[in-house]
Amino acid sequence: MNWRRTRAIARKEYFHVVRDLRSLLLALALPLFLLLLFGYALTLDVDRVPTVVYDMDRTPQSRELIERLRGSRFFTIEAVAGAYDDVQHLLDKGTCLMALVIPSSYASDILAGANTQVQVIIEGSDSNTASIALGYITILVQNYDLELRNEALRRQGLPGMRPPVEGQLRVWYNPELKARFYLVPGLIALIMMIIGALLTSLTIAREYETGTMEQLLSTPVRPVELVLGKIVPYYVIGLIDMTVAVLAGTLIFGVPLRGNPLVLFGSSAVFMFGTLSVGMLISAATKSQTLAFQLGILTSFLPSFLLSGFIYAIENMPWIIRVVSHLVPARYFIVLLKGVFLKGVGVQLLWVEGVMLIIFSVVMFRLAVSKVTRKIA
């Protein structure tokens, strides 16, 4: 490989990038825009669940339960129903996602030491939100129920009840359970995959459409020099985008960077080279900018979003999908990002993911070169 010819190709592509100022500004601003958009709009937190309350007891104890529900950040009381028909109407209309029905014997049963029940009705079209909301309301009602029973026992001069097992939870790496701490590293991987594939997916296709590819083929430039030279300017842009995304994640969203920044940017450099090679492969295979752009979106966004573990846990997927997910590079990059950002671990624990990213980058680069080779032949 001749480095002089590679620099010439890189210089040619650099001037093309600089002359297309709008595309350059878009490439630099798009990662920040997407990170801010998804970071604030996408959340896994379930709070402020709109709730309707139907209190048939109307005692101080039932009103206290309602006030505790109102004071919780997980629920918002949108309406107070006077009949079951009102509850059903609000749930069907979508005004409320949950209903709490307090029976007429609620306070008397608890103070007498008898078993009592409250009814919780949850609109279950979103099973994830429904299950989380059910867990929240169950804990709230059980805690209040235990307080009332202990108060009744103390009035009778009896010792209060204690649960047989008292759990004390300790959450590692994300003690406050902030969803953005989990989402932002995954968003960085997703955005870098999309940006990397799109930056180079139009390069060779543009040469074919403008008729300049024939001039390049008539020169002594070898395929590996052509591919590498065209990648270099976009590689620099990609690393700048990665730096902006990391700074935005730490400064704007407050995600802690507990690990070694060198491990972070080293793995990012490898991942970016692989994604740019994917774009080059698509560009060389299609020879059409429109088709290359569409394939770039299809091959970068959908696998990274669905099969990387970013949103959906890979362990819960069917076995055949779990096997396919091993071919998605964002899966390994997300593990690296979360390990460095949240856990503060280093190469000694993340070397497997690093090796998989290196293999991905080498394979994609060789495929891109081989595709250009076939075009030259």
Cα 366-372-375 angle, rounded to 5 deg: 145
| Confidence check: pLDDT of 377 > 60 | no
Strongest mean pLDDT among 163-172, 197-206, 356-365 = 356-365
323's tokens: 């096997």
- Percentage of residues of the chain with pLDDT beyond 90: 19
pLDDT in tens, 47-58: 788 999 999 988
CA-nearest of 251, 191, 144, 214 to 29 is 191
Contacts of 46 (CB under 8 A, 6+ apart): 74, 128, 129, 132, 133, 136
Report how far apart the first and last C-alpha atoms of the chain are (Å, whole number).
18
Burial-class residue 375 by CB neighbours within 10 Å (0-12, 13-18, 19+): middle
Q: What is the DSSP letter of 83?
A: S
pLDDT in tens, 296-344: 888 888 888 888 888 788 888 888 998 999 999 999 999 999 999 988 8
Q: How many CA atoms lie within 13 A of 1 on its CB side?
A: 13
pLDDT in tens, 171-220: 788 777 777 888 888 889 988 888 888 888 888 888 787 777 777 777 77
CA–CA gap between residue 272 and residue 238 (Å, rounded): 7
Beta bridge partners of 79: 52
| Confidence check: pLDDT of 36 > 90 | no
**H or E element, residue 98:** strand 98-102
Cα-based torsion angle of the residue sequence 7, 8, 12, 13 in order, rounded to the nearest 10 degrees: -30
Burial-class residue 24 by CB neighbours within 10 Å (0-12, 13-18, 19+): middle
CA-nearest of 287, 281, 289, 286 to 223 is 281
- Helix, strand or coil, per DSSP, at residue 311: coil
pTM to 2 decimal places? 0.79
Contacts of 5 (CB under 8 A, 6+ apart): 219, 220, 221, 222, 225, 229
Q: Please answer whether residues 343 and 259 qualify as being in contact, where contact means their C-beta atoms are separated by less than 8 angstroms.
A: yes
CA–CA gap between residue 305 and residue 4 (Å, rounded): 39
- How do the domains of the chain map onto residue ranges? 10-43+178-376, 49-155
Q: For position 99, what pLDDT does the model report? A: 92
CA–CA gap between residue 97 and residue 77 (Å, rounded): 10
Tell the CATH topology of 49-155.
abc type-2 transporter like fold (3.40.1710)
| Confidence check: pLDDT of 157 > 90 | no
CA–CA gap between residue 343 and residue 187 (Å, rounded): 17
